[in-house]
Amino acid sequence: MDYEQFAGALIDSSPDGLLLVDDDGIIQLANPVAAKMFGRTGDDLVGTSVDELVPVELRADHPDHRASYANHATMRPMGTGLHLFGQSADGSMFPVEISLSPVTLEGRRHTIATVRDVSDRQESAAEMAMLQDRERIARDLHDMVIQRLFAAGMSLQAVHGQAQPPVVAERIAATISELDDTIRELRSAIFRLGQQGERRSVSAQITELVHDRSRHLGFEPELRIVGDVDHLPDFIADQLVATLTEGLSNVVRHAAASAALVQIEQVGDRLSLKIADNGSGLPNSPKRSGGLSNMMWRAAELGGTCAVSPNPPTGTVLTWHVPVDIVA
């Protein structure tokens, strides 16, 4: 291979579009990438004015831009700080980056224009901006709206036992239940927002949830994770996080505890969750609350079990067991 053949192979193999343009603005050489980019063949481009590759509405000013560059020809990007566009043969426009390099061939000035289609990059940037907006919305819902609803529920819970007459207590209980339902719906909405972006690991969700509840408990629960929970099937992981949310909310509202343990184990084909506290324990006549019913329902849906028992000498233990070999 001689130098001319090598130069031709190098030009043809470039990942960017390459145009050799003379000082009259006529294309003298175009590599295959440039031809494809502008919806033409190499033979179609050669002999064509480079102005024809500029969008129609900008074409009239392009000769002046070429002349300005020719008077101060240096190797530099074209249109620094501007959004540049090329126009394909079918009239469609696409964003580009262009670098210009002056060169003298056979005694005449030419310019090598390196053209890169950046459509994918701009689409990625737009997608990233959208994902960041979703993350911000989800964070605001969690940190502001849910926390305020949760605090309102706690305030109502504190006065529920003192409310008179009974009809008032019933109304307060109904409002607390509605707040719980609203919080669950908001958490589902936050989860869906997260699903549209990159899904966080299960262990990260659990750690964040336990830390978040510490603000309401007044202490940080001990957290133990045994096994590879980050590779649980999504539908099981979702139910695990939802159950942990319900269980910790019950500790906050009912236990009056000063310490708690959250233990999650994934061993073989079994997944278990245990939430143990040193609080006031079970009432003499325990009632199945909405939260407990939800946790039992989640376990049953997965073919598992959920139970609440005393935690001697004081406190309560929630145990939640499900198989992990279910096919979604």
CATH number, residue 72: 3.30.450.20
Q: Are residues 174 and 233 in the same domain?
A: no
- Tell me: do 8 and 111 sit in the same domain: yes
List Cβ neighbours of 274 (8 Å cut-off, separation of 6 or more).
261, 262, 263, 264, 317, 318, 319, 320
Question: What is the reported pLDDT for 127?
Answer: 67
Q: What is the pLDDT along the chain (328 residues), one digit of tens a residue?
A: 454 555 566 677 788 889 999 989 999 988 999 999 998 876 888 999 999 999 888 888 889 888 888 888 888 887 666 778 889 888 888 888 889 999 988 888 899 999 998 887 766 666 667 767 777 777 777 777 777 888 788 788 777 777 777 788 788 878 887 887 777 777 767 666 665 555 678 898 899 889 888 888 889 999 999 988 988 988 899 889 989 988 998 888 888 899 999 999 998 889 999 999 999 887 765 555 556 788 888 899 899 999 999 998 889 999 999 998 744 4
| Cα 179 off chain centre by | 27
Token digits for 54?
A: 């500029």
Same-domain pairing of 322 and 231: yes
At residue 316, the pLDDT reads 93
pTM exceeds 0.85 for this model: no
What is the spatial distance between Cα 133 and Cα 141, in angstroms, rounded to a whole number? 12
- Write down the pLDDT at residue 79: 67
Say what the pLDDT of residue 122 is. 63
* 156 part of a folded domain: yes
To the nearest 10°, the Cα dihedral for 14, 17, 19, 25? -170
Q: Domain count of the chain?
A: 3
Q: What is the pLDDT of residue 3?
A: 46
Domain boundary among 169, 199, 229: 199
Q: What is the dihedral of CA 207, 208, 213, 216, to 10 degrees?
A: 130
Residues 198, 138: Cα–Cα separation, whole Å: 13
Does 146 map to a domain? yes
**206 domain-assigned:** no
Q: How confident is the model at residue 328, as a pLDDT?
A: 40
Q: Is 131 exposed, middle or buried (0-12, 13-18, 19+ CB in 10 A)?
A: middle
DSSP string, 19-43: EEEETTSBEEEE-HHHHHHTTS-HH
Q: Supply the range of the domain harboring residue 240.
A: 217-328
Which residues are 111's β-sheet partners? 21, 102
Q: In the prediction, which pLDDT does 7 show?
A: 53
Do 7 and 107 reside in the same domain of the chain? yes
Residue 209: inside a domain, yes or no? no
N residues, the chain: 328
